[in-house]
Chain A
Amino acid sequence: MSKPPAVAKLIDTSSCIGCKACEVACQEWNDQEFIVGGVGGSYQTLPDLAHNFWNLIKFHEEERDGRMNWHMAKYQCMHCVDPGCLRACPAPGAIVILDNGIVDFNHENCIGCGYCITGCPFDVPRLSPKTNKVYKCTLCSDRVAVSLEPACIKACPTNCLSFGSRADLLGRAERRAEQLRSDGFQNAGVYNPSGVGGTNVIYVLAQADRPEAYGLPKDPRIPWTVALWKGPLKWLGNLVLIGGILGTFFHYVRYGPRRVKNAE
């Protein structure tokens, strides 16, 4: 059997109207309550993602060149090709990359250490105080497994969200960015950050030169401290442990015990 193609979600922020149907659909499908936390002076449902709220439209207002910009961008797990959460996770099988590219958490293997929260360049996973396990968007891996599109995509009324093979959607994203550029948004482009090997959640941004305006990091990378720990430090540590045990053993074989001197 050949490997299934990588799937992806495309978010065309230029056609998001901030209706929050995706938020509701996500809560519905994942059997979670719709929380209304409120952010003062904004339409945003909650200040940030939560362990029981995996899909949040971020509303950003800014005045630029005398005009008001109102950015809306759905925020959730980016399903990185090289996920920082997985790099940091100590528990085998707690975080897995499915054949179709979805980064999924297996809660029976999660130990609740929270290292993935620190390893994630997008600050997405959240610890549940009730189960002491970590939760995030699954890209509806349970729906995708039976050939359904994710709940958020099903609910979107404007086709801002689409789901399909990653290769197809990257092409569509580029064409949409091209269209926006010819419409006068010179900086329109695709957000598929290479620092994490690309993502399976792709954005079209009218101002791709400033992803921060949409609440997205400019150049996300696996944190260097995590990379250093899981890279060179791991090898240095293994050398110290194995070298220490072998070194002391062979020291004994070569020099033997330290005898009491006879003189006195």
Chain B
Amino acid sequence: MLSEERIDRFTFQERAVHWLAALSFLYAAFTGLALWSPRLFWLSAVFGGGETIRAWHPWGGLILAVVLGWMFRNWAAQMKLDGDDRIWLKNAHRYATHDEEGLPEASRFNAGQKMLFWVQSICAIILFSSGTVLWFPEAMPRSLRLAAILIHPAAAVVSIGGIIVHIYMGTAAVPEAFRGMIQGQVRGAWAASHHPKWYREVRKR
């Protein structure tokens, strides 16, 4: 019976914002990688050529920044780290190796997801501000450009690294998680197993 139970994981609005962010992130990341090294410049051909990505990469970043601002409004309150999360993070290696005895139960988002949220939020602020400097090189003082030319790719490496893990977790590593973000619903058993605290709250309502 329980396996038939379906509960709402993400509203349509949450999913729409997530996927708008995902698409603009992928665009910004791949066009950014084309500019990361001359050896990856061939990627620019996939997106319309070097001059095209030089013109549109910043707009992709701007759209991403706006969407992430919306996502922040949606989720920031639920992403606060509590005492359990701190214990969880200290034992993150045990989560990774599926040795979960004694790991604190997760609420709607587990501590790993919360960390991803905050890391990406900080990276977004850094990438957006340094990106604005690189967007208009001739209007910016040289000292700012010199800082931005290093900070922008450095923050991008952190951000892309986090998203590689995020995509893995959301697809192969945790079956059904992807369905939750596409269709909005998960099985009760899935929620009870991966997000027990949240599951009990939902059941109480």
Where the two chains meet, the residues of A that have a C-beta atom closer than 8 Å to any C-beta of B are 88-92, 109, 111-115, 117-119, 123, 126-127, 132, 223, 225-226, 228-229, 233-234, 236-237, 240-241, 244-245, 248, 251-252, 255, 257-261, 264
Q: How far is the CB of B26 from chain A (nearest CB, A)?
A: 14
Where the two chains meet, the residues of B that have a C-beta atom closer than 8 Å to any C-beta of A are 2, 34-38, 41, 44, 50-51, 53-54, 96-98, 134, 137-138, 142, 145-147, 149-150, 153-154, 156-158, 160-161, 164-165, 168, 172-176, 187, 189-190, 192-194
From B38, B172, B192, give the contact of A90 (CB < 8 A). B38
In the complex, the number of residue pairs spanning A and B with C-beta atoms less than 8 Å apart equals 118
B157, A255: Cβ atoms closer than 8 Å: no
CA distance A1 to B90 in the complex (A): 65
B157, A111: Cβ atoms closer than 8 Å: no
Chain B residues in 8 Å Cβ range of A258: 98, 173-175, 194
Chain B residues in 8 Å Cβ range of A225: 146-147, 149-150
Q: List 29 A-B contacts (CB under 8 A).
A: A89-B38, A90-B36, A90-B41, A90-B50, A91-B38, A111-B53, A113-B134, A114-B134, A114-B138, A118-B145, A118-B149, A225-B150, A226-B149, A229-B149, A229-B150, A234-B37, A237-B36, A237-B153, A241-B160, A241-B164, A244-B161, A251-B96, A251-B168, A257-B175, A258-B194, A260-B176, A260-B189, A260-B193, A264-B189
Q: How far is the CB of A118 from chain B (nearest CB, A)?
A: 4
Q: How far is the CB of B94 from chain A (nearest CB, A)?
A: 12
Q: How far is the CB of A51 from chain B (nearest CB, A)?
A: 9
Question: Of A115, A226, A233, A237, which is in contact with the most chain B CB atoms at under 10 Å from its CB?
Answer: A237
Chain A residues in 8 Å Cβ range of B137: 113-115, 117-118, 127
Chain A residues in 8 Å Cβ range of B165: 244, 248
Given contacts A127-B138, A258-B98, contact A118 B146 (CB under 8 A): yes
Q: How far is the CB of B5 from chain A (nearest CB, A)?
A: 10
B168, A117: Cβ atoms closer than 8 Å: no
Chain A residues in 8 Å Cβ range of B175: 257-259
Q: How far is the CB of B151 from chain A (nearest CB, A)?
A: 8
Enumerate the 4 nearest inter-chain pairs by beta-carbon distance, A residue then B residue, closest first: A114-B137, A111-B50, A244-B164, A248-B168
B157, A261: Cβ atoms closer than 8 Å: no
CA distance A229 to B37 in the complex (A): 10
A90, B153: Cβ atoms closer than 8 Å: no
Chain B residues in 8 Å Cβ range of A92: 38, 41
Chain B residues in 8 Å Cβ range of A245: 164
Given contacts A251-B96, A260-B194, contact A91 B157 (CB under 8 A): no
A113, B35: Cβ atoms closer than 8 Å: yes
B150, A226: Cβ atoms closer than 8 Å: yes
